[in-house]
Chain A
């Protein structure tokens, strides 16, 4: 059962017919890219079926097999593949690093999977004009590594540094931990080379007229709004083969240094940089802290991670996580923000740190940070005091044995000398390089899905976190989601706090029967709650199912999407089941699931705190 399947009339070709079609498609694609870079072998095709969230999309760990997988090397080859698909009446979908069910086939024997792995060059880093031009398979981690060498940094999507820069910038939302200083992927796209759904190569932004990529909005034509809009078309509107993304200043060294071994690397926090875990008391304090950090403009990263994924990031496996999570106060660390500060010189650094201290003093907060020993001790004491004010000194005392055990273990991993700064180092690695994010979400049960996450004001995002947690609690009580204390809101500020997002993560075992239904139920219910509590469009307001619900509430944006899709993709060649399907009608199974959710909704009480 699945939301997508239930909306489609799935027709499977007879086996012989399917084999003939695969063979024909494979031969023609080989003429375009060479035999070596095309496959129709079932074992290889299957590795494109197994996708994150497939259990929710199609009720199985496996999406459908594509007809073929093809690895082009140039934009011209991509265009030729797209034109061939149009001519033959078959669909195509491109992936780069390819992480998610939206990249895979949703019907059998219907689609060519274009894997852009071979297009993996950083074409240019223009340090003077602060932009980079990349091909699809360049990851955030790779671009950041090279950007550091010329004094630049790049936004990395929250999914992690292993994911494609281009895919996030052109086709997804791409929120991340560094949004306060570097925005999010949607906002960083300066231009793109776009193979339209019919196979025309189009260059947009200033590149179209000047040959440079510094502006997405002219003097050449800007069609960013058309091909990606707010949330991206998730591969449903052609293929992107180059992207220019905005870069940001990096005040650190050309290469970061680190000590230790996997999974306990410790990055040396560069000079004039601060990595702090800040704490305040309650959601109101969190709201104030976020706004003041945004207004002050001192931070490179402001990120909120809930206690459970924070515990996962700090530990090597789930058993170790249980040890740490058993320390009574650890799962009470709700009101924390990770803050990274970078400065050009000592004077600027001192100013920025003083501002942070001032904010925390005003709010009665504290921090654990890589400060000189006396300051470290003072602010650590304030951190403990802030926490004990809420949870009580008894809980803090009860935590001591567990803490000692944890410190002993960390001392073994990192060395006693590094113990005071080890937490700051882990926060830094997680926040600055997006290198540890997946530990915090996939390891608990095997997978996760996420809800809420509107781009709104910070206190509205916090309101959304409360709503999301209360919806999720029902599923936790039924044992369907990992019991993370219900609050697993992750997100932060964007563009100096002009807007923000907090999404409510839910972790579960995807191998459990009906786990996909559970996840869809949760998403539907949180989407409903988002609308009812005026929380704006959530992360999951994408795809035809969600658009049916949210469109009428938001000026019928789905009608515009349909028009765009029909205008640019008259043959419906660009597989768009996660974007828009002009003929979409919900199937009976989905309707039944919706009714089940409507009959059994969680009660939301916004006066309740966590």
Chain B
């Protein structure tokens, strides 16, 4: 038995001198934090993650919110995919195991395997729950698995069109949805062009007609707060989030570099994202590909700051019982990429440690408080929380390429989330994401609860009824 001093000495000497080196991380993990644009993509590969994926004990913690946070049986799941499809393959653990099976050549990437891989909203709930206990990178593994699938077999049929649109129109939507500058026709005061602070409105807000009202409320609020900003209108590049989720990394990397180059040449110093999907991609994935020093914030952070400074004053009463739906992309998926270059070692026989210590994103550093402060600042609003909130919020089903490829799954997930929202007694479910608002609205037909954007609620209070762009009834309940 090791004596006290032996253990102490061993531990204190540090990993390097004590250990048997397990494995030097492969290139992606050891890539410097801001590799040059010329050096090529540096997304973690499946191989580079295998030392983590092989640790999955199949304990099923990834299927539930962290156990201490569970408030009811009805809302005790964290994984929409597992809820929908039921097989273990459709949980976080299942996809980690599929990754191992692919790596070991046990299964190919045939149609059935690809369905398993893509029947997932990429919400990151499993990753967050797993990391309550471990450091297994489920989300990174799923991105790598999608990339490997795409590299070998290209996109699913339903995703091919999205990529074509990105390639040809500069956004993932069909051409008949119009131009990204169309919404500006009713907002003549908004400056179009490059500036130090650029509001990246995002393709979903700009092109989905039923979401444009929310976008217009956002720019009116920013104007009312005296925020100096501009937008790019028709020329706004897409962050290529859909390419990332589909696994088309070549396209993603190219568009990411293009976007950064364009914005840097325009003198942009701060990017304010209206759509959290863009926010999550810029913070969590761009640093793997391209170096830049532009500050990235989400619009709710800017509005929250304006409220704190007093440059926005909510005056009008919005007498509503409101529940806030945390978009995964503004919450747990929005954490900043933390580069790590190091080695995994074994010390004390079989204890796995990293040298230097590997930072772990656990989903807790997302933007959770700012939207709640905004809603709390609106007179008349009674904010009630759902059972699953913040880092363990349940996804709406509107992400990861699911609405395009598996619309029924997306609709069922939205219905589940609306049930949970309805259980709070809320009249309004508010979010800060056009994807969530769209997907939830589509499932809200026939329900008492309505769906709206946080910018809409704040605009009603700050700007008043006359100056707020009201959502069409169909936008609140699209079915």
Among B98, B132, B135, B347, contact of A46 (Cβ-Cβ < 8 Å): B98
Q: Are A436 and B133 in contact (CB under 8 A)?
A: yes
Chain A residues with CB under 8 Å of B100's CB are 50, 61
Are A46 and B97 within 8 A (Cβ)?
Answer: yes
Chain B residues with CB below 8 A from A433, complex form: 67-68
**Contact in complex: B58, A332 (CB < 8 Å):** no
A445 CA to B20 CA in the complex, in Å? 13
Does A271 make an interface contact (CB < 8 A)?
Answer: no
Q: Does A552 contact B (CB under 8 A)?
A: no
Contact of B350 among A39, A98, A139, A507 (CB under 8 A): A507
When A142-B76, A446-B57, A482-B348 are in contact, do A43 and B64 touch as well, CB less than 8 Å?
A: no
Question: Which one of B12, B59, B69, B86 contacts A118 once the chains associate, using CB atoms below 8 Å?
Answer: B86
Q: Does A434 contact B (CB under 8 A)?
A: yes
Q: Which residue of B lies closest to A475 (CB)?
A: B349
Q: Is B354 an interface residue (CB 8 A)?
A: yes
For residue A258, CB closer than 8 A to chain B, the reply is yes
Contact A511–B54 (Cβ < 8 Å): yes
B2 touches A255 (CB 8 A): no
A71 touches B106 (CB 8 A): no
B299-327, CB under 8 A of A: which get 1 and which 0?
00000000000000000000000000000
* Interface residue A476 (Cβ < 8 Å from any Cβ of B): yes
The smallest beta-carbon distance between A89 and chain B, in angstroms, is: 25
Residues of B within 8 A of A42 (CB): 101, 106-107, 112-113
- B94 contacts A482, CB within 8 Å? no
Chain B residues within 8 Å of chain A by Cβ, number? 69
- Per-residue 0/1 for B145-186: is the Cβ within 8 Å of any A Cβ (1 yes, 0 no)? 000000000000000000000000000000000000000000
Q: How far is the CB of A406 from chain B (nearest CB, A)?
A: 13
Question: In chain B, what residue has the closest Cβ to A62?
Answer: B106
Which residues 89-143 of B have a CB within 8 angstroms of A? 89, 93-94, 97-98, 100-101, 106-107, 110, 112-113, 116, 128, 131-135
The answer to whether B2 and A476 touch across the interface, beta carbons within 8 angstroms, is: yes
Hey, which chain A residues are within 8 Å of B363, CB to CB?
A: 262
A443 touching B134 by the CB < 8 A rule? yes
User: Do A435 and B67 touch (CB < 8 A)?
Assistant: yes
B391 contact from A262, A325, A512, A610, Cβ within 8 A: A262
B8 within 8 A of A: yes
Complex interface: chain B residues within 8 A of A139 (CB): 64, 76
Distance in Å: Cβ of B347 to nearest Cβ of chain A: 7
Are the C-beta atoms of A162 and B133 separated by less than 8 Å?
A: no
Q: Is B353 an interface residue (CB 8 A)?
A: yes
Give the residues in chain A near B73, CB-CB below 8 Å.
Answer: 122, 138, 142-143, 145-146
Q: Mark A255-279, 1 if CB is under 8 A from B, else 0.
A: 1101001110101000000000000
Q: Tell me if B346 counts as interface (CB < 8 A to partner A).
A: yes
Closest A residue to B106 using CB positions? A46
**Is B465 an interface position by the 8 A CB rule?**
no
Give A136-176 interface residues, CB cut-off 8 Å to B: 138-139, 141-143, 145-146, 160-163
Contact of A146 with B60 in the complex, beta carbons under 8 Å: no
Cβ–Cβ < 8 Å partners of A384 in chain B: none
A433 to B76, CA, bound (A): 14
Give, as a whole number of angstroms, the nearest-CB distance from A290 to chain B: 23
Check A438/B58 contact, CB under 8 A, given A43-B116, A162-B67.
Answer: no
| Distance in Å: Cβ of B382 to nearest Cβ of chain A | 19
Q: Does A598 contact B (CB under 8 A)?
A: no
| Interchain CB contact under 8 A, A262 and B132 | yes
The reply to whether A141 and B2 contact each other, CB–CB distance below 8 Å, is no
Are B59 and A162 within 8 A (Cβ)? yes
B86–A71 CB distance below 8 A: yes
Contacts of A321 in B (CB 8 A): 351
Q: How far, in Å, is B333 (CB) from chain A's closest CB?
A: 14
Q: Does B1 contact A (CB under 8 A)?
A: yes
B107–A46 touching, CB < 8 Å: yes
Identify the interface centre among B73, B76, B354: most chain A CB within 10 Å of its CB.
B73
User: Does B352 lie at the interface of the complex (its beta carbon under 8 Å from any beta carbon of A)?
Assistant: yes
**B7 lies within 8 A of chain A by Cβ:** yes
Indicate if the CB atoms of A47 and B94 lie closer than 8 Å: yes
| Cβ-neighbour of A97 out of B60, B134, B360 (below 8 A) | B60
- Contact among A118, A267, A479, A487 for B349, CB-based, below 8 A: A479
- Roughly how many angstroms separate A52 CA and B98 CA in the complex, as a whole number? 16
Q: Is B295 an interface residue (CB 8 A)?
A: no
Closest Cβ neighbor of B357 among chain A residues: A319
Q: Which secondary structure characterizes the binding site on chain A?
A: loop
Q: Which one of B54, B59, B349 lies within 8 Å of A160 (CB-CB)?
A: B59
Q: Could you say which residues of chain A place their CB within 8 Å of the CB of B358?
A: 317, 319
Contact with A along B53-90 (1 / 0, CB 8 A): 01111111101101111111100100000000011110
B128 to chain A, nearest CB (A): 6
A152 to B72, CA, bound (A): 14
CB of A37 within 8 Å of the partner chain: yes
Q: How far is the CB of A177 from chain B (nearest CB, A)?
A: 13
Q: Judge whether A326 is part of the interface by a CB distance below 8 angstroms.
A: yes
Asked whether B39 is an interface residue with its Cβ less than 8 Å from the other chain, the reply is no
* Contact yes or no, A267 B98, CB < 8 A: no
Interface hits, A109-138 → B, CB 8 Å: 115, 117-118, 122, 138
How far apart sit A455 and B214, CA to CA, in the bound complex (Å)? 64
B354 pairs with A319, CB closer than 8 A? yes
Write the nearest CB–CB distance from A98 to chain B, whole angstroms.
Answer: 7
Given contacts A160-B61, A262-B391, contact A482 B351 (CB under 8 A): yes
Q: Which of B2, B94, B134 contacts A442 (CB 8 A)?
A: B134
Contact: A255 with B352, CB < 8 Å?
no
CB of A82 closer than 8 Å to a CB of B: no
| A508 contact set on B, CB distance < 8 A | 349-350
Which A262-307 residues sit within 8 Å CB-CB of chain B?
262-263, 265, 267
B265: shortest Cβ distance to chain A, in Å?
39
CB of A217 closer than 8 Å to a CB of B: no
Q: Which of A115, A162, A316, A332 contacts B64 (CB 8 A)?
A: A162
Shortest Cβ gap from B16 to chain A (Å): 13
Expressed in whole angstroms, the minimum distance between the Cβ of A45 and any Cβ of chain B is 9
Residues of chain B contacted by A499 (CB below 8 angstroms)? none
**A43 in contact with B67 given A160-B59, A261-B364, A483-B349 (CB within 8 Å):** no
Q: Contacts A122-B73, A319-B357: A48 and B349 contacting too (C-beta < 8 A)?
A: no
B residues within 8 A CB of A391?
Answer: 4
Question: Once the chains bind, are A326 and B12 in contact (CB under 8 Å)?
Answer: yes
Contact flags (1/0) for A432-453 with B, using CB distance below 8 Å? 0111101100111111000000
Proximity string of chain B (442-456) to chain A, C-beta cutoff 8 Å, 1 when within and 0 when not: 000000000000000
Q: Are B60 and A98 in contact (CB under 8 A)?
A: yes
A446 to B20, CA, bound (A): 16
Chain A residues near B61 (CB-CB < 8 A): 160, 162, 438
- Enumerate chain B residues within 8 angstroms of A429, measured Cβ to Cβ: 68
| Residue pair A483, B57 in contact (C-beta under 8 Å) | no
Question: Is residue A414 contacting chain B, with contact meaning CB distance below 8 A?
Answer: no
A262 and B364 contacting across the interface, CB-CB below 8 Å: yes
User: In whole angstroms, what is the CA distance A138 to B73 when docked?
Assistant: 9
Q: Which residues of A contact B476 (CB under 8 A)?
A: none
CB distance from A283 to the nearest CB of B (A): 14
Closest A residue to B67 by beta carbon equals: A435
* A51 within 8 A of partner (CB): yes
With A161-B67, A433-B68 already in contact, the answer to whether A47 and B98 are too (CB < 8 A) is yes
Complex A-B: 9 CB contacts under 8 Å: A37-B86, A44-B94, A47-B94, A52-B57, A160-B59, A161-B67, A263-B362, A486-B1, A511-B54
Question: Shortest 6 CB-CB distances between A and B: which pairs?
Answer: A435-B67, A445-B350, A261-B364, A43-B113, A326-B11, A483-B348
Instruction: Given A43-B98, A43-B116, A145-B71, output 14 extra A-B contacts at Cβ < 8 Å.
Output: A46-B97, A46-B101, A50-B56, A118-B86, A146-B72, A160-B67, A261-B390, A262-B391, A483-B7, A483-B351, A486-B2, A487-B1, A509-B346, A510-B54
Question: Could you tell me which A residues sit within 8 Å of B by CB distance?
Answer: 37, 39, 41-44, 46-48, 50-52, 61-62, 69, 71, 97-99, 115, 117-118, 122, 138-139, 141-143, 145-146, 160-163, 255-256, 258, 261-263, 265, 267, 316-322, 325-326, 328, 331-332, 391, 395, 429, 433-436, 438-439, 442-447, 469, 473, 476, 479-483, 485-487, 507-512, 610
